Amino acid sequence: MKAAIHPDYHKIKIVMTDGTEYDTFTTWGKEGDVMKLDIDPKTHPAWIGGERKIMERGQLSKFEKRFAGFSAAGGKNADEAEAAKEEKK
């Protein structure tokens, strides 16, 4: 490897939102710096499911409204398709 082309790899302290701490190695900051997280896996909705589940329900209801009348029976909903079958008999 060439000398002096790689960033400094050093130890820093990470402080999670609940106050827990751990040490890790990184190229961020300087040796001994502390990184305080505003968002982490213990609080972010993407990991804990809070806000995301509400958004999914909204997307599902939007889909159901958009395709409420759609069915595989030639564009008719299920009741109309059943009635058409009864008329043919």
Domain boundaries, the chain: 10-71
Residue 2's pLDDT is what? 81
For residues 10-28, average pLDDT: 94
Three-class SS string for the chain? CCCCCCCCCEEEEEECCCCCEEEEEECCCCCCCEEECCCCCCCCHHHHCHHHHHHHHHHHHHHHHHCCCCCCECCECHHHHHHHHHHHC
pTM above 0.85, yes or no: no
Residue 85's pLDDT is what? 66
Residue 20's pLDDT is what? 93
pLDDT tens by residue, 29-61: 999 999 999 888 887 777 676 555 555 567 777
Q: pLDDT higher for 62 or 52?
A: 62
Average pLDDT, the chain: 79
